[in-house]
């Protein structure tokens, strides 16, 4: 029995398959492990085992980085130590670390000021984690 495209899409959304694969991709591209397949298996086992990673997936909405890592991203863009980055740089950075199409689309619609300090950059990143993909 072949499922319709609509029912497959509904299934993928309901079970957050896209988020899961996005998370797996983000883990390996962030960590760059020597053996990515083993790292993916390890991550899947931790999710299946109900460790803290499970709550990471359940609450995960597009960004894998914590505040320290977001600060490092910001500091990498603020090469002249001005304490701010341009809206274009902020948008590009957020696009780069977004791991779902829905979040990337949301970033395109953000009203980002001309210059963004670290706190505002992190606030935008946190705002993106509030996007509800279960619709």
Asked if 27 and 39 touch (Cβ cutoff 8 Å), the reply is yes
What gap in Å lies between CA 119 and CA 110, rounded to an integer?
16
If one counts every other C-beta atom within 10 angstroms of the C-beta of residue 101, the result is 12
3-state secondary structure at position 87: helix
Give the pairing of strands 84-86 and 115-117: antiparallel
Instruction: Identify whether the C-beta of residue 97 lies closer than 8 Å to the C-beta of residue 65.
Output: yes
Report the pLDDT value the prediction gives residue 28, as an integer from 0 to 100. 82
The structure's pTM equals 0.54
Domain boundaries, the chain: 5-59, 67-129
> Per residue in 96-112, pLDDT tens?
777 667 777 888 888 99
CA distance linking residue 126 with residue 34, whole number of Å: 30
Candidate CATH numbers 1.10.3720.10, 1.10.238.10, 3.60.15.10, 1.20.1250.20; the one for domain 67-129:
1.10.238.10
Q: State pLDDT tens for residues 2-14.
A: 678 788 888 887 7
Q: pLDDT category, 85, cuts 50, 70, 90? A: very high
Integer Rg of the chain from CA: 17
Where is pLDDT greater, at 53 or 31?
31
């Amino acid at each position: 029995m072949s499922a319709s495209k609509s029912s497959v899409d509904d299934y993928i959304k309901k079970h957050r398959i896209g988020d899961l694969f996005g998370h797996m991709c983000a883990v390996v591209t962030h960590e760059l492990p020597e053996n990515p397949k083993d790292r993916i298996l390890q991550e899947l086992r931790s999710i299946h085992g109900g460790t803290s990673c499970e709550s990471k997936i359940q609450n995960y909405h597009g960004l894998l980085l914590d505040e320290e890592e977001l600060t490092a991203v910001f500091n990498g863009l603020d090469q002249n130590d001005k304490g701010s980055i341009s809206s274009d740089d902020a948008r590009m950075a957020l696009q780069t670390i977004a791991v779902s199409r829905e979040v990337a689309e949301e970033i395109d619609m953000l009203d980002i000021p001309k210059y963004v300090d670290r706190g505002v950059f992190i606030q935008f990143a946190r705002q993106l984690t509030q996007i509800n993909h279960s619709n």
